Amino acid sequence: MKKFAGERLSSEEMKEVTHEEWAPAVKYAWSCGEAMSRFLNELKKGKLIGRKCHKCKRVIFPPKMFCEFCFRPTDEWVYLPDTGTVMTYSLSYLDKDARRIEEPILVGVIAIDGASEHMGIMHYFSEMDPDDLDFGLKVKAVWKPEKEREGSVTDIKYFKPLEGEK
Amino acid sequence: MRHVACIGAGMTMFSRRLKETGKEMCFEAARMALDEAGLELSDIDTVVCGSAPDAFDGIHMKGENLLDGCGGAKKPYMRVFTGGGTGVLAPIAGWWHVASGVSDVCMVICEEKMSSCFPHPQSAFAHIWDPILERPLQPNLVWIFAMEMNRYMQVHNISKEDIALVSVKNKGNALDHPSAQLAAKITVDDVLNSEVMAWPVQRLDISPPSDGAAALIFAAEDKVGPITDNPVWVEGVGWCIDSTMWTNRDLYFPQYVARAAKMAYRMAGIHNPFKEIDVAEPYDPFDYKELHHMEGLLLCKKGEAATLTKEGVTQRDGDLPTCPSGGLLGVGNPIAATMGVKACEIYWQLAGKAEKRQVADARTGVCQAWGDLMQYSSVMVMRS
């Protein structure tokens, strides 16, 4: 009886063994739905928007048309400032395909001012020394010029330190 | 509800790339488990398959594709999938097949073949991210772990040195595991000097992508007698998931792990996990995750896991050995198939079959898996 069976292959050996290859050629398009469509269309105007639940009083950001805790429809749209607080961050030397990059991508979670506690989004940071990126740092969105915005989270180029703060 | 025993386990080598297909790996793991239990496929009346994202293999309906290798053809068969959490949810599904009375003997097979996706399975991980909020930012999956690790370190003032001790321990423990992919005797300095991937995550903080399969066999109490005089009993199970909106919670403590653990401990009648658990296999795809999960599993107070590690408490000969298998960090991380170093390892430990990895006097053990988008946990308590 075989225990812990298996034959290891290196990437070079993989090219030599009998194998098949296939590259999928598919594309996807997602309808963004009610909450996200409004959110993205507001980004195009340079604005952040959330939804308020009148039962638990939370300001939900990014917005949802339903409150997942009260399990009822949310009640109203609420505009929020484009400032927030760094909740956590990373300096990434990997791109999306795990390729190595020289200059780190500064990325983190920003809790948006005026939304309920820990209501944040992931985004980039720039216009700062990486050493100054820290927990609790107050930051402000830097937007693409209006003509270049297309209704995407990338309409915000990145967040930078809020002037006058640390 | 019937009492359920674990009566046999098996696993393949874990490797960056295996020559065997997914089906062949499943067969090898299942055959080893059947041989250990002294059973044939005809003794198995239900089969559960666990496998994580289809995107790695590039095969949809992967459960169906793996069916023959799992021994599931012409039997009641199902696949479960909760990302990295599959490695303990699949055995939980095996338990419920038997506990419910639906099945007398259930075999659980977990498989992952990440190497089929090239040049790197990271590109397939992109399918995990929210298509509207996150994908346009071109994220790498390591980012979220880096952000969670950073937040955990900041809240409890834990150093990289203290976290690196987990990697040193687990890769060292893996030297005694026949399946190990990355077993090594390394130092804290090796971890701290390894390549920075996404600060604070460095190369040696992280487990490798792997190919592998694992199997476990569960039997009802009245069927165990003729099969084995050395059963290991499933005493408690728990699972819990939090929102996919990981940017909407504080990452320093995994509340969903604690909820899953409380569910399992309540069923097992465990009131003081630190005192009552003899051996633990918390999910360790990154070194900080072992600490994060020890706290989530209520094996210590919040922020104390690093201190226990530094004091040697979590070594194989310590008061609370964690990842005696070598874990994902040392043996490898074939997502769902990590059942081999979690549920299978706790079974082998409690059955006294862990050979060179054996922890002395282990009677009660807990294993845990974690996954989806940093939101899911499954927990199983076993007793011999």
Task: Write out the two tokens for A153.
Answer: 């989270």
As a whole-number percent, the residues of chain A with pLDDT over 70 amount to 98
Encode burial over B4-32: b for 16+ CB neighbours within 10 A, e otherwise: bbbbbbbbbbbbbbbbbbbbbbbbbbbbb
CA atoms within 13 A on the CB side of B154: 18
Mean pLDDT to the nearest integer, A79-94: 97
pLDDT at B218: 98
Q: Do A4 and B13 touch (CB under 8 A)?
A: yes
Domains of chain B, with CATH numbers?
4-119+208-383 (3.40.47.10)
Q: Do A92 and B197 touch (CB under 8 A)?
A: yes
Q: In this complex, is the C-beta atom of A151 within 8 Å of any C-beta atom belonging to chain B?
A: no
Q: Do B132 and A40 touch (CB under 8 A)?
A: yes
Q: Do A90 and B147 touch (CB under 8 A)?
A: yes
Mean pLDDT to the nearest integer, A102-128: 96
Q: In this complex, is the C-beta atom of A71 within 8 Å of any C-beta atom belonging to chain B?
A: no
Of the candidates A9, A97, A152, which has its C-beta nearest B123's C-beta? A97
Name the residue of chain B whose CA is nearest to A24's CA.
B58
Q: In this complex, is the C-beta atom of A37 within 8 Å of any C-beta atom belonging to chain B?
A: no
Which pairs with CB-CB distance under 8 Å and at least 24 residues apart come from B72-80? B72/B47, B75/B44, B75/B45, B75/B46, B75/B47, B76/B45, B76/B46, B76/B47, B76/B102, B76/B103, B77/B46, B77/B47, B77/B48, B77/B49, B78/B48, B78/B49, B79/B48, B79/B49, B79/B50, B79/B51, B80/B48, B80/B49, B80/B50
**Confidence class of residue A164 from pLDDT cuts 50, 70 and 90?**
low
Q: In this complex, is the C-beta atom of A97 within 8 Å of any C-beta atom belonging to chain B?
A: yes
pLDDT at B316: 97
Which pairs with CB-CB distance under 8 Å and at least 24 residues apart come from A144-153? A146/A46, A149/A43, A149/A44, A149/A46, A150/A44, A151/A40, A151/A41, A151/A43, A151/A44, A152/A40, A152/A43, A152/B136, A153/A40, A153/A43, A153/A121, A153/A123, A153/B132, A153/B133, A153/B134, A153/B136, A153/B137
CA distance B38 to chain A (A): 11
pLDDT, tens digit, 9 for 90 and up, residues A27-52: 999 999 999 999 999 999 999 999 99
Name the residue of chain A whose CA is nearest to B198's CA.
A92
B140: chain A residues, CB-CB within 8 Å: 92, 94-98
pTM: 0.96
Phi and psi dihedrals of A156, rounded to 5?
A: -85, 120
Residue ranges per structural domain of chain A: 33-161
Mean pLDDT to the nearest integer, A126-149: 97
Q: Do A1 and B147 touch (CB under 8 A)?
A: no
pLDDT tens per residue across all 384 residues of chain B: 999 999 999 999 999 999 999 999 999 999 999 999 999 999 999 999 999 888 888 888 999 999 999 999 999 999 999 999 999 999 999 999 999 999 999 999 999 999 998 888 877 888 889 999 999 999 988 999 999 999 999 999 999 999 999 999 999 999 999 999 999 999 999 999 999 999 999 999 999 999 999 999 999 998 887 777 788 999 999 999 999 999 999 999 999 999 999 999 999 999 999 999 999 999 999 999 999 999 999 999 999 999 999 999 999 999 999 999 999 999 999 999 999 999 999 999 999 999 999 999 999 999 999 998 889 999 999 999
Q: In this complex, is the C-beta atom of A19 within 8 Å of any C-beta atom belonging to chain B?
A: no
Name the residue of chain A whose CA is nearest to B11's CA.
A4
B150: chain A residues, CB-CB within 8 Å: 88-90
Name the residue of chain B whose CA is nearest to A36's CA.
B132
pLDDT at B55: 85
* Interface confidence (ipTM) of the complex: 0.94
pLDDT at B320: 97
pLDDT above 70: residue A165: no
Please answer whether residues B322 and B192 qualify as being in contact, where contact means their C-beta atoms are separated by less than 8 angstroms.
no
pLDDT at B57: 84
Cα separation, B2 vs B7, in Å, equals: 15
Amino acid letter for position A104: P
A1: chain B residues, CB-CB within 8 Å: 31-32, 35
